[in-house]
Structure 1
Amino acid sequence: MNILSVEQLKKSFGERVLFENLTFGMAEREKVALVARNGTGKTSLLRILANEEMPDDGRVVTRKDLRVGYLKQEPEFPAGIEIMQWLLTLEHPLLKAVIRYKESLENPAKAGDMTDSLSEMERLNAWDTESRLTAILDKLNLKDIHAKVDLLSGGQKKRLALAGLLLTEPDFLILDEPTNHLDLDMIEWLEGWLSDAPFALLMVTHDRYFLEAICTTIYELEDGELYKYDGNYSYYLEKKEERAQTQQSNIEKAKNIYRRELEWIRSTPQARTGKSKSRIDSFKKVKQDAHKQVQNKQVEIDVKMERLGSKILELHKVKKAYGNLPILNGFSYTFKRGDCIGMVGKNGVGKSTFLRLITDSEEADGGKIITGETVRFGFYRQDGMQLNNDKRVIEVIKEIAEVIPLAKGRSMTASQLLERFLFEGDQQYTFVSKLSGGEKRRLYLLTLLMANPNFLILDEPTNDLDILTLNVLEDFLLDFEGCLVIVSHDRYFLDKLTNHLFIFKGNGEVKDFNGSYLEYREELAIEQEKKREAQKLYTAPKKEVSRPKREKTKLSYKEEREFEELTAEIEKLEARKVEIAKIFESPDVEAGEIEQLSIEMNQLTERLDEAEMRWLELSEFTEE
């Protein structure tokens, strides 16, 4: 059953048409990814589907009462409100029940409201909603529930918006780059949650492992047209190549027909029969098909690298801490030519600090950092993109150089280099402020590479770059002869480029792991399995010793007394539960008393479960 129908959708940005005549639908529980180059309208399409932007033409029809959740690239929050306060304002029956219950506690004079709110909490089983909230926030590393939302970092805001979606569980979820600002553990947890979730999903993501594991349908937006692939990312790559080959084959056939028909046109007299006029009309269509081109333009990266000497970068017992928080505790490593190192670890454990230390933008507390004379750093910062929004694209490049030296003694003008980075024609004269997030990232990368670095440091380079640009960047980095250090939460990117990891575990501990990220996760899985097996071995002897003795003997005197006491206690616990239930039904009960009794009821239930389990264990040995 369709939950969403898109009909003849069109959207323009100034004179530039992003897409038109888009028509597609989505079914319940269908999980779809949207793939396209930066600047082709992905975010605009998502905003239209989320009813946050209007199309120029066409319409979006959704199922009645469809609950839609939308995760923006840059979420916005009201000022002055705390994390927990914001979450409790979201549209969801459980949350509304909790809010009503809290309000009734604050107004004990309204006994009727208290009774109604208690009934609603019981009916929805909402007593653990706040604890669920806390658990989700903890998983997403948002532990200070009293922090003001407008004072959070960009990454924290993204994770808070995601937490709100996890809690409200919409029927249709729209995600714009959901893995940005999440560490690897969070990404893998979110991947599992979305894979099993019972709702429809449409997302834009550059994370190819994430896309591969979750989505069963791929839509590609190319040159304003939408192509559908019924399969995962691997299937999409295979069928996309087949489509390109078919298109090229059709163009070649059209060219052959065009040449033949062109000769006929030139040789045919001016007087046309009805049949020849029909052939002329067909000729026009053939001519149009013959002059089509398969759009296979992609970013081309070809820059010169400065010579790199034998001494590159050495770290000797480097120490760094912020107050009582250790970042590095005596870390040592000597970089070699061709090193491709990935840095992984949870957010806040010191990866960015490490990068500032090795680039000499921050001082270490102890140890030595020695940089070779020939080293020229190129530092792509996730938060360091400083492009002047009032300048045009070509002005940004010309400020660095009018002519750019390339590899093998060649050179290129600023305009030619921009064309290689897919800034063509009029777009070179577009103001930076008009570029999409991904286009700005692409321009920032170009300004970095123009400096001809031989030691590249990439801090979250995949954020906001489209998959096609990432593929080209990966190919360039695979051939890069200098040193490469990558901080990334993109597992595919790490596995393709690195064979050595610095694993930041926190408290100053950094593990030097010789292998890929996939190999590291496999090693972790083996270690966890060994721990589980060791735990089984530790607990097994207790069972083996106790069971034979219990089968052959009756209860000891002490166990008989315990059995009698448990029997009496269970009776008292059950009687108290009945008493509390009757009190709840009374219209005269006060709000403060109800709150205390609710706490007591939970405690009674937990103790009753424990007592009954122990009573059952002992009851096995009470019969002759």
Structure 2
Amino acid sequence: MNYVAAEDLTKSYGIKVLFENISFNINEGDKIAIVAKNGSGKSTLLKILMGKEIADHGNIIINKDIQVVLFDQEIDYDPNLTIEEFMMTLDSAPILALKNYHQSLHSTDHDFIEKALAEMETHKAWDLENEMKQILSQLKITDLEATMKTLSGGQIKRVALAKLLTETRAEHRHTLLIMDEPTNHLDVEMVEWLESYLNKAKVTLLLVTHDRYFLDSVCDTIWEMEDRNLYVHNGSYATYLENKMIREENLNATIDKANNLYRKELEWMRRQPKARTTKSKSRIDSFYETEKVAKTDTRKQGLELDFEMKRLGKKILELKNIDKSFGSKVLLKDFSYQFQRGEKVGIVGKNGAGKSTLLNIIQGLEKVDHGEIEKGETISFGYFSQKGLTYKEDERVIDFIKEIAEFYPLANGKSLSASQFLRLFLFDDQTQYSPISKLSGGEKRRLHLMYILYQNPNFLIFDEPTNDLDLPTLTVLENFLQQFQGSLIIVSHDRYFMDRIVDHILAFEGNGKIKDFIGNFSEYREAKSREQASEKNIIVKSEPPKENTIPNNSPSKKRKLSFKEQKELESIEKEIPEFEEKREKILHQLNNETDYEKISILSADLEAISEKLESHEMRWLELQEFLEDS
């Protein structure tokens, strides 16, 4: 089934052309990721699909039998609504049935109650209510009575994500789900849950994300928007990079040929008398086409710089026996660490565990309850936070950077001009002389990052640097950081980014405990999984004693149960009904529970009891086979 068909779409803002004559199709079941530099028109294209923008030229046909749902960077909400009220603002029959049912719980009108129950059955709203509870629980939304205005930006985004996923579940129509950076403000566990959810969900997906592991897990097609065009790549992110490299190599070969031809044709053009009318018009037209190709700039300047970093002394930064709490919540407990030159440390942990607090303590922005902090005299911090950029409305990009310095120093005694450094971070000449206020949200984020790096710090602190950055910028940033000789701390939920940059992990594991792990993020996660598995009381099927095993050369030989196995069978037959009863009880509690913290606990209990029940049933079958044979 075809969802969307677009032909020759063009969109410009003033003299800036975002895309020109692009065509594409979206069919049922497609899971597509859009990759592009910020300012290339990704968000504009999404808005055109939503009907919020109109293309300058071209046709777009959206199937009338589908609904298009957008998860946007900007969340529209009434700040006075509670979370539960916000969730119930969805305009769908199952949600309306759910609202009526909740109202009927406080009603004495039997007709209204019966009607509400009938609507719940008709629209299968019982299942929807359970799924809504599970989604909110997975996204760590527990207090449904909290008003939207009391939530942080990250919490608002998670609530909006829960509402969107509920909406796609509530509607039984065909759905095109459009998601713009859905993993921002989610911790790793939430991101992995969302990956699993989208893989299982029967939705058609159009996704903008900087998270490359998430992209590879969820999507099977990549749309690349570059130089006003749209290129389609079927396969993984690695396939896209390979295809892009081949395309650019072919284009560069074409440009080299065009340059050779251009020099010859330019010489011919100069030789012709201006008044001469016999000059071939077609050859002149061909000359200008050749000139256009020859002057195409495809070779991005490589980021291979020998930086002249501000000197770091022997003493860098040492934390000794640090304690920090807020009320009864312990964030740091007797934490000690000594940072080394060239060290690249990743900090991970759940939201609210204390990661940002540690960054503030390191910079002297937050006082400790107990302990000592010793800083080297030569430390120059560069802090890239989640806060936005401060600038004058009419200030140009180039002037904003030049306020720091005209040139960026290199170790070989040379330097880069402010304009050259801006080009390294994908700001072309036209954008450099534009007002900052005209930049897209992602471009402002990129400029903020560049502003920090251009100050040439020797100790970088990044708090979620990948949020709202496009993939081309992330590649540039990763190359920069890999060559950076100073100390580096990164707080990030971007697994791919962490794997490329950091060499060991400080993991906030709760209650003030911080684990120092040597290795990258994926290695830490693997070690953590093994540790958790060993701590669980996993029931492993025991092998029959050697003296009771059936020899390989006599497979038909039977045996009776030993006394020990007979007792084990009796015990299992007694425990299985008990486990089944407990399981049913938990299921009943889940269906009637509204406290989302309790739902999370009950879900864990249900998983544990189900594992035990399955293990007992498997062992019962094994023993039963011996019993039947004996």
TM range (shorter): 0.7 to 0.9
Q: Secondary structure at the match of 1:67?
A: strand
Matched letter for residue 145 of structure 2: H
Query: Cα deviations across residues 229-284 of structure 1 (Å, max 9, x unaligned)?
Result: 111111000010000011111222334445566677788996859xx766665555
8 A contact 1:385–1:444 mirrored in 2: yes
1:581 maps to which residue? none
Shift of residue 374, structure 1, vs aligned partner: 1.2
**For residue 66 of structure 1, what is the aligned residue in structure 2?**
66
CA distance in 1, matches of 2:503, 2:38: 29
1:115 aligned counterpart, secondary structure: helix
Residues 102-140 of structure 1 deviation map (CA, whole Å, 9 limit, x = unaligned):
33444533x433322212212334235434323211211
Displacement of 1:190: 1.0
Q: Which amino acid aligns with 1:28?
A: E
Q: Superposed, which structure 2 residues align to 1:469-508 within 5 Å? A: 469-508=473-512
Tell me, what secondary structure is at the counterpart of 2:195? helix
- 1:244 equivalenced with 2:263 (yes/no): no
Distance (whole Å) between structure 1 residues aligned to residue 343 and residue 158 of structure 2: 33
Give the match for residue 162 of structure 1: 161
Aligned match of 1:27: 27
Match of 2:440 among 436, 440, 456: 436
Structure 1 residues 546 and 150: CA distance shift in structure 2, 3 A? farther
Q: Which of 548, 556, 564 is 2:566 aligned to? A: 548
CA distance, structure 1, for counterparts of residue 243 and residue 146 of structure 2: 48
Which one of the candidate residues 309, 314, 317 is aligned to 1:305?
309
C-alpha distance after superposition, 1:395-441 (max 9, x if no partner)? 32233234444433334444444344333434333222221122112
> Per-residue displacement from partner, 1:355-408 (whole Å, max 9, x unpaired)?
000111111100111111111111111126433444332332233234444433
Letter in 1 for 2:53: E
Per-residue displacement from partner, 1:142-165 (whole Å, max 9, x unpaired)? 111111113321111111111012
Tell me the secondary structure at the aligned position of residue 126 of structure 2.
coil
**3-state DSSP class of the match of 1:81?**
coil
Deviations 1:285-342 (A, max 9, x none): 4444344342636778775311001111111110000010001000011111111100
Q: Contact between 2:305 and 2:410, CA under 8 Å: does it hold in 1?
A: no
CA distance in 1, matches of 2:326, 2:569: 60
Contact 1:298 1:469 in 2 (8 A): no
Structure 2 CA distance for aligned equivalents of residues 459 and 334 of structure 1: 20
Superposed CA RMSD: 3.3
Do the aligned partners of 1:300 and 1:420 also contact (CA within 8 Å) in 2? Answer: no
> Once structures 1 and 2 are overlaid, which stretch shifts more, 326-335 or 131-140?
131-140
1:32-53 per-residue CA deviation (whole Å, 9 max, x = no partner) reads 1111111111111112212222
In the aligned structure 2, how far is the partner of 1:301 from the partner of 1:2? 49
Aligned partner letter, 2:254: N
Q: Answer yes or no: is the 8 Å Cα contact 2:505–2:518 preserved in 1.
A: yes
Specify the SS of the correspondent of 2:514. strand
8 A contact 1:219–1:227 mirrored in 2: yes
For residues 77 and 526 of structure 1, the distance between their equivalents in structure 2, rounded to whole angstroms, comes to: 42
1:13 equivalent to 2:13? Answer: yes
Counting only pairs closer than 5 Å after superposition, residues 398-413 of structure 1 correspond to structure 2 as 398-413=402-417
Normalised by the length of structure 2, the TM-score is 0.81
- The CA distance in 2 between the partners of 1:540 and 1:122, in whole Å, is 50
Partner of residue 462 from structure 2, selected from 451, 458, 462? 458
The 1:265–1:304 alpha-carbon spacing in structure 2 relative to 1, beyond 3 Å, is closer
1:39 aligned to 2:30?
Answer: no
CA contact (8 A) 1:299 1:422 kept: no
Taking structure 1 as reference, are residues 551 and 306 closer, same or farther at Cα in structure 2, changes over 3 Å only?
closer
SS of structure 2 residue aligned to 1:407: coil
Give the whole-Å Cα distance in 2 for the aligned partners of 1:434 and 1:267: 45
The question of whether the paired residues in 2 share the 8 Å contact of 1:74 and 1:154 is answered with no
Query: Does the 8 Å CA contact 1:345/1:503 hold for their aligned counterparts?
Result: yes
Contact 2:128 2:166 in 1 (8 A): no
Residue 549 of structure 1, CA deviation: 4.5
Determine the structure 2 residue equivalent to 1:590.
none
Give the 3 Å change call, closer, same or farther, for CA 202–295 of structure 1 in structure 2: farther
Q: Contact (CA 8 Å) 2:303, 2:480: kept in 1 or not?
A: no
1:77 is aligned to 2:77: yes
Moved more, 397-406 or 488-497: 397-406
**Equivalence for 1:253:** 257
- Return the match for 1:316 from 313, 316, 320: 320
Deviation per residue, 1:417-473 (Å, 9 max, x gap):
434433343433322222112211222122212322111111111111111111111
Contact 1:8 1:21 in 2 (8 A): yes
Which consecutive residues of structure 2, in runs of 5 or more, have no partner in the other structure?
170-174, 546-560, 578-605
Separation (CA, whole Å) in 1 of partners of 2:359 and 2:569: 64
Q: What corresponds to 1:516 in structure 2?
A: 520
Mapping for residues 568-579 of structure 1, pairs under 5 Å: none
Once residues 23 and 165 of structure 2 are traced to their aligned partners in structure 1, the CA distance between those partners, rounded to angstroms, is 29
* 2:590 alignment partner in structure 1: none
Aligned CA distance change for structure 1 residues 290 and 417 (closer, same or farther; 3 Å): closer
Give aligned pairs, total: 560
Matches of 2:542 and 2:388, distance apart in 1: 51
> Aligned partners of 1:531, 1:391: CA distance in 2, in Å?
57
Write the distance in 2 (CA, Å) between the matches of 1:9 and 1:213: 29
